[in-house]
Chains A and B, each alone.
Chain A
Amino acid sequence: MASVLPSAVLDAAAVPIPRVAARREAAPYLNPYLAGVGLGLVLLAAFVIMGRGLGASGAFSTFISWAVASVAPAHAKGNEFYQGYLQSGGSHPLKDWLIFELLGVLVGGFVSGVLAGRVRKTVEKGPRISTRSRLLLAFSGGTLMGFGAKLARGCTSGQALSGGALLSVGSWAFMLMVFAGGYGAAWFVRRQWQ
């Protein structure tokens, strides 16, 4: 791990964040059932307008396949996984539906955050863990998640939400396993959050 994330990077990110006085109080979150209906209607709109559900990890895969093909074209050509994300019918591989969707997610998240006074530089963690450890765990968890999402052919967006609403067998099996994995591992990393 140390070779992947040089400690200089971690130290820079761990610099305490100066508190700005008289900052606006963050608004409370939306009622979860209302937020769920909103999210469900967005998903329904994707089905009705596009004939496909939402996604997230697929955009990452396209980006990585494009990056690998840019650096080592011959290597990417010999790999079926990368090839799957590079066949774009002659147009640029990054002109991809999920990439544009994910750019929208960034904008939508930012707009909602600004409106609610929730945009601020922070590290999300419990009180009993150092910032440095939290950042290492964020990277490690992300790695596991990236690998798992590709093995399952989708993540919480593409499988659990979209496939779940279509009553796909694989998506429901996936969803149950996500909760099982989360609850199973929670005890071991409780110091990070509680």
Chain B
Amino acid sequence: MSAPFFKFGLFGAEFSLVMAFAIGIGFGFFLERAGFGSARKLTAQFYFKDLAVFKVMFTAIVTALLGLFYLSWAGVVDLSLVYFGPTWLLPQIAGGLMLGVGFVIGGYCPGTSMVALATGKVDAVFFVLGVTAGIFVFGEAYPAIQGLVNATPMGEITLPQLFGLRYGVVVFLVVLMALAGFWGAGAWERRLARRAGEV
């Protein structure tokens, strides 16, 4: 058991910023490779024209999920030392809805807007200014909406705990769901391609 490296003191706070920059480069690189610096590519997901957002997101989740699961099973990573955010169900549902609506209106999410900015998208500049304004409004409103922000706390709860299933079983179910989703996405895209060929 020697990971997470930072938590085991393999390097200090200063070097963790170097790691942050390096990890960020990888993150931005693959977002751009996937085409996520383009708002048209991203929003096409919501019109069923291009399902890359779904495919990339769930492949990434499954990759990291399986990697963590095996590394923790093999005793390499101590999962209890990986930061796990607590759940506040109601504000997370409301925030998720706002984010989804904002996504299809604005064309990006905060991470992808940075990649769009870096590749010359003028609309991303306005989007980033909007995100900044939105967070400022939230900050100013915080004292008034604290009740909603901190409503329905559920603590650090996982899906296996919620459903009373073993961790490995839920990992397996998530992978199965993702594979079914990928198969469905492929079938849908083949149909679209056939239809486009007929016109």
Contacts and interface: CB of A to CB of B under 8 A. Distances in A.
B176 interface: no
Interface of A: 4-5, 13, 29-30, 32-33, 35-54, 56-57, 60-61, 63-65, 68, 79-82, 91, 95, 97-98, 100-113, 116, 118-126, 134-161, 163-186, 189-190, 192-194
B73 interface: no
Interface of B: 3-7, 13, 16-35, 37-41, 43-47, 49, 51-52, 55-65, 67-68, 71, 76-77, 81-89, 91-140, 142-143, 146, 148-149, 154, 156-162, 167, 170-171, 174, 182
Contacts of A54: 23, 27, 111
A141 B96 contact: no
Contacts of A179: 100
Contacts of B136: 64, 68, 146
Contacts of A157: 27, 109-111
| Interface residues of chain A: helix, strand, loop or mixed (majority) | helix
Contacts of A164: 61, 65
Contacts of A13: 122, 125-126
Nearest to B34: A35
Given A40-B62, A47-B64, A142-B134, A180 B33 contact: no
| Interface residues of chain B: helix, strand, loop or mixed (majority) | helix
Contacts of A45: 23, 26
Contacts of A61: 135, 139
B120 A119 contact: yes
Given A49-B4, A124-B38, A148-B134, 15 more contacts: A29-B34, A30-B34, A35-B33, A40-B60, A41-B26, A41-B63, A125-B39, A138-B108, A142-B106, A145-B127, A146-B136, A155-B109, A167-B160, A177-B93, A183-B100
Contacts of A37: 59-60, 63
B59 A33 contact: yes
Contacts of B117: 106, 109
Contacts of A190: 47
Contacts of B84: 166, 168
